[in-house]
Amino acid sequence: MKDKTAVNLKFSLVSGILAGNKVAKVPQNGDFLQFAALCNLKGKNNMREDTIAAIATAAGEGGIGIIRISGDEALDILNKVFVPVSGKIKSRMMSYGHIIDSRTGKLIDEVMAVYMKGPHSYTTEDIVEIQCHGSSVSLRKILALVLSCGARLAERGEFTKRAFLNGRLDLSQAEAVIDLIRAKTDKTFDVALNQLEGIFSEKIKEIRADLVDVLVNLTVNIDYPDEDIEEMTYEKLEKSLQNIKSKIKKLLDTADTGRIIRDGLKVSIVGKPNVGKSSLMNAIMGENRAIVTDIPGTTRDTIEETVTVKNIPIVLTDTAGIHDTEDVIEQIGIEKSKESFNNSDLIIFVADASANLEDEDYEIIKYIGNRKSIVLLNKQDKGRKTTSSQISEILPQAAVIESSLIEGKGIDELGDVIEKLVYNGEVKQGDNILVTNVRHQNLLEEGYKCMNDALNMTEMRQPLEFIDIDVNRCYELLGEIIGETASDDIIDKVFERFCLGK
Ligand SMILES: Nc1nc2c(ncn2[C@@H]2O[C@H](COP(=O)(O)OP(=O)(O)OP(=O)(O)O)[C@@H](O)[C@H]2O)c(=O)[nH]1
Ligand SMILES: [Mg+2]
């Protein structure tokens, strides 16, 4: 941990207030946060060091490829490798010219180059970007030349890490960058973009500001009880703590949806043989991905595909029909079906509506138990021997959909039901502040526990000193989300997930 705990800061502020006349008012949250940010930056500025360089575009062929350079030497290095066709290089202006190896005089590529003078750049340092032809040969050659001129190869995520260390992004905003790059759906992208814009951090800062209010009041009452100050009653304290706890809870309630929006909903299609599982897989995918025949036991191995339904990323698995069989290959497939069953967020159980439920269906129903599930009563075109109400009696928590996949019926309703399940009433489709990151979720959960403990102690009228410890801890935990109180190990771990050149 860095030497900037809430306690230290709080004491400086409180003693500052007391040094004047009597305590007239507690400090403004802004004062405190500004002070905290200053301390934060002080510890981090000495991280600015060598000039780094990397290929910023994806590997493979492309219209253009970009080499990015960041650091004090960026412009010098550009001047060594780049010969502009006309004029001088000006900050934030594209220049057309050639990359030439001055040792041999050999032309490497024809490029566009831009220099962005710090601090108004991605890393806040001087940055140069060279746009060359998107061939790995050109990119490799230019990068090698840049490195030979004094730059060091950047580590994973080092550009964004510098943006964080130099105070341009907080840690949760930096984490949003990698989520943006990896986003597969519009919704995932929108949520990550909001996080990058700092909307999620603002929420965290708002809760931390509430915590500072409580902490300052607690400290003043603990350490200077004789001063002429507003008394912190247990009733007032309880109200403030409750308010903070419910704000944390509101964020935590979005975490399940948030994880699904980011990582995808794992869905397994299960059922006995020949009920239409693979037909369902194909209908959702909109293509003939799985083999469909009227021979029971057609699908022997699990088939996994990623698809987007109603803007929700779904990792869909079609499985082998679960039943008793002597066939060794089928047995292995059925084992894999059960495994996929156990690892999924949602089970779609397909049953044949035109037949009565059999032992094999009941076996699967037993497996489903209380899990999140949807029952697709398929083959409605052939008859209705098994009805929705029958299923609802056996699996009361499951949504039941009547379908005829052969006629294309039931798929739209399935999409609607999945959407409702994902947003589970707590979160609205339009909500773009979601807790999508497990690290944030864990810290919020721990913070929530601290608030619970603090509230219990308040109810039991325990000494303020004890309550102060939990409130303080919660302040630090939430600080870890935005990186103000995160250890170097945590920061390193966050950036290890990045790609090179970002
Ligand atoms: N009449 C009718 N036939 C259907 C319907 N859905 C699927 N089928 C047919 O049922 C047969 C089995 O379909 P599949 O999708 O292969 O079934 P499955 O559950 O994957 O079967 P296994 O892989 O053997 O476990 C095929 O002949 C499909 O055309 C439906 O709604 N109505
Ligand atoms: Mg199949």
Residues 6+ apart with CB under 8 A from 489: none
Residues in the chain with pLDDT < 50?
1-47
pLDDT in tens, 272-290: 999 999 999 999 999 898 9
Residues 117, 229: Cα–Cα separation, whole Å: 50
Tell me the CATH number at 183.
1.20.120.430
Decide if 492 is inside a domain: no
Does 403 lie in the same domain as 287? yes
Does 203 lie in the same domain as 151? no
Does 283 lie in the same domain as 156? no
Residue 161: which of 122, 198, 119 has the closest Cα? 122
Does 403 lie in the same domain as 348? yes
Query: Three-class SS of residue 54?
Result: strand
Q: Are 154 and 500 in contact (CB under 8 A)?
A: yes
Does 116 lie in the same domain as 200? no
Decide if 489 is inside a domain: no
What is the b/e burial string over 81-105, where b = at least 16 CB atoms within 10 angstroms of the residue's CB?
bbeeeeeebeeeeebebebbbeeee
Q: Which of 291, 406, 409, 414 most suits a substitution to test ligand 1, by most atoms within 8 Å of the C-beta?
A: 406
Does 303 lie in the same domain as 192? no
Decide if 85 is inside a domain: yes
Tell me the CATH number at 82.
3.30.1360.120
pLDDT score of 323: 80
Does 365 lie in the same domain as 304? yes
Residues 181, 272: Cα–Cα separation, whole Å: 40
Closest atom, ligand 1, to C-alpha of 275: 19
Q: Tally the domains of the chain.
A: 3
> Which spans in 73-198 are helix H?
74-81, 136-148, 158-165, 171-182, 186-196
Residues 36, 204: Cα–Cα separation, whole Å: 14
Decide if 394 is inside a domain: yes
pLDDT score of 61: 86
Tell me the CATH number at 318.
3.40.50.300
Does 230 lie in the same domain as 148? no
pLDDT score of 21: 34
Residue 266: which of 164, 418, 386 has the closest Cα? 418
Does 419 lie in the same domain as 454? no
Does 236 lie in the same domain as 133? no
Decide if 502 is inside a domain: no
Domain holding 158, by residue range, is: 52-167
pLDDT score of 447: 98
Does 312 lie in the same domain as 398? yes
Q: What tokens were used for 86?
A: 């006309």
Q: Which of 269, 275, 336 most suits a substitution to test ligand 1, by most atoms within 8 Å of the C-beta?
A: 275
Does 158 lie in the same domain as 74? yes
Residues around ion ligand 2, judged by CB within 5 A, are 277-278, 298-299
Residue with CA nearest ligand 1 atom 11: 294
Taking every pair of Cα atoms in the chain, the longest distance, rounded to a whole number of angstroms, is 89
pLDDT score of 487: 84
pTM (predicted TM-score): 0.77
Decide if 471 is inside a domain: yes
pLDDT score of 23: 36
pLDDT score of 428: 64
pLDDT score of 502: 79
pLDDT score of 36: 38
